[in-house]
Amino acid sequence: DAGITQSTRHKVTETGTPVTLRCHQTENHRYMYWYRQDPGHGLRLIHYSYGVKDTDKGEVSDGYSVSRSKTEDFLLTLESATSSQTSVYFCAIFRAGDGYTFGSGTRLTVV
């Protein structure tokens, strides 16, 4: 979707290294979300933001942090990557009338 971008489609990283994923939106939406998707678990919320510098934890927030210093960017950081964080990560924005609009996802492999 043109309004939301996850520029990294695939990434391989080593266990113990920090990793930051970036989500960028061009439509000035207040709410942004990070989900992870794993087989058998569907989409699970990691963190979300309801404004600049306003964030909250989701269901699976352990091992992750986020930052939102400006409206258009929502960053997800894996502080010290582990193999259990191998997953597909989706960013989403909330658009009134369309629910959530998702980015194209980042497949992260931790080796």
Contacts to other proteins by CB under 8 A: 1, 33, 35, 39-45, 48, 50, 58, 90, 92, 98-105
**Which residue, 20 or 104, is less far from other proteins as judged by CB?**
104
Phi, psi dihedrals of residue 101, rounded to the nearest 5°: -110, 130
Which of 20, 18, 21 minimizes the C-alpha distance to 91?
Answer: 21
Beta carbon of residue 3, minimum distance to other proteins (angstroms, whole number)? 12
Burial of 36 (C-beta count, 10 Å sphere; 0-12/13-18/19+): buried
**Which residue, 33 or 81, is less far from other proteins as judged by CB?**
33
Beta carbon of residue 98, minimum distance to other proteins (angstroms, whole number)? 5
**Which residue, 16 or 50, is less far from other proteins as judged by CB?**
50
**Which residue, 14 or 99, is less far from other proteins as judged by CB?**
99
Cα separation, 17 vs 68, whole angstroms: 21
Beta carbon of residue 31, minimum distance to other proteins (angstroms, whole number)? 8
Cβ partners under 8 Å of residue 56, min gap 6: 47, 48, 49, 50
